[in-house]
Chain A
Amino acid sequence: MRELLVVLNTRAQSFLKRVFELRWQTVVQNISSLLIFGGFAVAVFLVARFATDYLITEAHIGLFLFHRFLSMLLYVFFVTVNVGNMIVAFSTLYKSQEVNFLMSLPISHAKIFLIKFVDNFFYSSSTLTLLGLAMLLGYGSFFDLPWYYYFFVMFFIMLPFMLIAAILAITTLMLLIKLGTRIGFRLLLVLVLCVYSGGVYLYFNATNPMSLVEDVMKLWPNVNEYMGYLDPPFVKVLPNHWVAEFLYWSLHGEYARALPYFSMLFLTMLGLIALAGLMARRFYYESWLAIADLQAGRPAISGKTRSLFASSSFLKASFLKRSFLKPHWDVLVKRDLSLFLREPSQWLHLLLMVVLLGMFLVSLATLKLTFEQPAMQATAFMIIFMFNGFLIASIALRFVFPTVSLEGDAFWCVRTSPTQLSKLYWYKVVTALVGVGVVAEFLSFVSVFLFRQDASLALVSAIIIFFVTLTLTGLNVGAGSYFAMYKERNPIRVASSQGASLTFLASMLYLTVVVTLSLIPLNNYFTTWHAADGFSIRWALMPLAVIAIISSVIFAFSTRVGLRAIRNDSR
């Protein structure tokens, strides 16, 4: 236990020294983080409060249905925490230099596992914890709940809930690695993607929100009554259901009925911690060795556990073929392509995003998207538009933000060569713009197509998406350069760093402004559509001009900051 405390104490001291360091840059960074994270929390609080208010007092959906929606939201939250922890855990528990160091010390493997688990949980779940707290405050403030309620729910309900997701993630990862050494990691990856996609699909298929709404509304106005018989049986064993049930019963003051759900959450968490400890003793070192072997014992470019692309003749020959590009650009493109396709965490994540994108588009195609009221129609379009923006921001954060950091320790060879760093910077902007732009415009086109095949709507949407892509790309390259972590080899850790979180929040603020401005032309568009009147593109000119100006300013500012940072010789 003593060595565990020593490590955790050193970690805490290092963290505190970093946060409270009295350097001008650190202070400014911390204050900006505080402002942006604070702003984000306030925005989430307001949205949660508004949504609760709207659903209860305007839409009159009743407390039962409201808590079922909450349960679905918590399910998504649970899967996000779970997947986030699993992805980050691969680097934290298996590829970190610190683990190599700790493994050489007389500390038990289970303790190393515990230390890294704590590290992993804080690293990958801190923003989600803030999100959870802000939502809880928004929810609670509507129902006028006392202060100790928040305290209790946050520490004794939400924390166990998130820990269950995190423990399940890392224990599953341990088993998956063991399994991967037997069946091969490619097959394993396909299986994991199928299981997760299938899990989300089956959950929403079984809970069926639309039929649940219909069933509950049949009993209107008695919608506040408990209708637990409508829940499918398997849902009752899910932690998100326990949280929703606890909130429902405690809101009614029926603590005796809320208590079992609290007990189930807490006991499951304790049971899983014990199970994780036992499994760590048995499997952690073995799985760590499997990954170490995999990394160390690689023959040149082949082997069944290599990336899907690494063994292709295309990549083997990539550096050894002449191309039409000038030598400078040629080698940069080939280097980036090779590094991307040979790094499993890169192409795996891309594959995952493609699957999510596919799921999103399939769900979109099955939705009923035509409404009688133009305002509702515009809102539905804007929600999908916002989601497109969110996807673009996520892709940019994950794949564009780390590009400067990924120059890494080997950056010396570019910096001492006759290559202008500004050209390198623009190369990163342009390649990111092309990559993200293709995805973004495709999404924009499909969204418009699903609503109505119309050239005006497609044009307005394409222009807005172009500016969104330009801004988010510029912002992510610029901020990625400013917050560059050249010592960090793992792109996932770069994309989940403090700088990355700030960039993502800034992207969200920008998207909110764009969506608000876009509402005007879109509302006009749908009004004229319903009135069978002609839509004039001139109505969209003013909002588009404002979006263009804001986007250009953000792009120019980010580029200036990014260019200065990449030239900075002190890093």
Chain B
Amino acid sequence: MSMIEIQHVTKKFGAFTAVDNLTLKIEAGEFFGFLGPNGAGKTTTIKMLTGLYEPTVGHCFVDGHDVHWTPLEAKRSFGYVPDQPYLYEKLTGREFLHFVGGLFGIPYRDVKNRIDEIKDLFEIGSFMDKRAEEYSQGMRQRIVLTAGLLHDPKVLIIDEPIVGLDPRSARLVKDTLKQKTKEGLTVFMSTHLLEIVEELCDRIAIIKNGKIIHEDFAPSRNGNLEALFLELTK
């Protein structure tokens, strides 16, 4: 069964079509890279996949649940990391994680244990008791990544995961995601950074003007992705 399925999805904002009849299937344990130039429709697709936008036409499924007809079931099965890691400025990272855990209905003690379990994944222990207003972009990103994995989801949907991270943190994130995929996590990642795609992804799709213009397996083995991307998106 596909973990993520996008069926003939179109999203229109007035007369403008942001995503045009998009169809995709991503299997369990796959690391999927979603590429495209600015304004191609990547974030809109992710927002439809996470229930933040409703498709004008078509359906999105996560773990077999329609995101718009059975949203609660679908949302229980994925974690989401947005491109802008907005947090509550007055809450500490730990409080934010407890908050997210509560929203997923995880009992208090389990959230506490889970935080202790995964806080080292992205090395957040040193700052998680400070308020978010004191965080750098990278710290926020690492808290949000931890929050995305807090409920042990089957699918992780990430919009630009490495932006704002220093080289050490970026390495940490890449290694963790790689490891998690090996353990069975399905990752849907949108990014501009081609070297990350080459290093991590099993499969990619390039979107332009709301349409998939290219799909490929194992980009790292199929020659120069940068040249291909530039050629396709010019």
Contacts and interface: CB of A to CB of B under 8 A. Distances in A.
A409 interface: yes
A413 B100 contact: yes
Given A295-B133, A331-B103, A413-B103, A418 B86 contact: no
Interface residues of B, number: 46
Interface stretch (B72-80, B116-124, B212-220): B72-80
Contacts of A418: 71-73, 75-76, 103-105
Contacts of A343: 90
Contacts of B112: 320
Contacts of A330: 102, 108
Contacts of A257: none
A306 to B, nearest CB: 11
Contacts of A299: 130
B168 interface: no
B221 interface: no
A17 interface: no
Given A300-B92, A320-B98, A338-B95, A412 B86 contact: yes
B164 interface: no
Contacts of B105: 326-328, 418
Nearest to A322: B108
Q: Which of A327, A338, A417 has the most CB of B within 10 A?
A: A417
B131 A298 contact: yes
Nearest to B76: A418
Contact of A327 (B88, B94, B101, B130): B101
A319 interface: yes
Nearest to A424: B103
Given A322-B108, A418-B75, A569-B52, A409 B86 contact: yes
Q: Which of A300, A416, A489 has the most CB of B within 10 A?
A: A416
A420 interface: yes
B54 interface: yes
B101 A322 contact: no
Interface string A458-490: 000000000000000000000000000000010
A349 interface: no
A342 B91 CA distance: 9
B103 A300 contact: no
B87 A414 contact: no
Contact of B103 (A295, A298, A417): A417
B234 interface: no
Contacts of B95: 319, 334-335, 338
Contact of B90 (A327, A338, A416, A420): A338
Contacts of B52: 412, 415-416, 569
Given A295-B133, A322-B109, A569 B54 contact: yes
Interface residues of A, number: 37
Interface string A407-442: 011101111111110000000000000000000000
Contacts of B104: 327, 417-418
B187 to A, nearest CB: 16
A330 B101 CA distance: 11
B53 interface: yes
A323 to B, nearest CB: 8
A319 B131 CA distance: 13
A335 B71 contact: no
Nearest to B92: A300
B86 A416 contact: no
Contacts of A191: none
A365 interface: no
Interface string B8-47: 0000010000000000000000000000000000000001
A320 B95 CA distance: 8
B90 A342 contact: yes
A490 to B, nearest CB: 12
A410 B87 contact: yes
A320 B75 CA distance: 25
A259 interface: no
Contacts of A408: 86, 88
Interface in A341-363: 342-343
A413 B147 contact: yes
A339 interface: yes
Nearest to A410: B86
A494 to B, nearest CB: 15
A349 to B, nearest CB: 16
A296 B129 CA distance: 16
A125 B79 CA distance: 45
A319 B73 CA distance: 26
Interface string A84-111: 0000000000000000000000000000
A312 B229 CA distance: 55
A335 B99 contact: yes
Contacts of A298: 131, 133-134
Nearest to A343: B90
Nearest to A406: B88
B53 A300 contact: no
A330 B108 CA distance: 9
Nearest to B132: A410
A373 B51 CA distance: 64
B102 A328 contact: yes
Interface in A14-31: none
Given A322-B108, A339-B90, A416-B75, A331 B99 contact: yes
B186 interface: no
A327 B109 CA distance: 11
Nearest to B89: A489
A416 B91 contact: no
Nearest to B91: A338
B129 to A, nearest CB: 6
A300 B130 contact: yes
B107 interface: yes
A410 B88 CA distance: 6
Contacts of B88: 335, 339, 408, 410
A489 B50 CA distance: 24
A319 B51 contact: no
B224 interface: no
Contacts of B71: 418
Interface of A: 295-296, 298-301, 319-320, 322-323, 326-328, 330-332, 334-335, 338-339, 342-343, 408-410, 412-420, 489, 569-570
Given A327-B111, A410-B88, A570-B53, 8 more contacts: A320-B112, A338-B90, A339-B90, A342-B90, A409-B86, A413-B96, A416-B80, A419-B103
27 contacts: A296-B134, A299-B130, A300-B130, A319-B95, A319-B99, A320-B112, A326-B105, A327-B101, A327-B106, A327-B108, A327-B111, A330-B108, A338-B90, A338-B95, A343-B90, A412-B52, A412-B80, A413-B96, A413-B99, A415-B50, A415-B51, A416-B52, A418-B104, A418-B105, A420-B72, A489-B89, A569-B47
Q: Which 6 A-B pairs have the closest CB atoms?
A: A331-B102, A409-B86, A417-B103, A342-B90, A327-B102, A319-B95
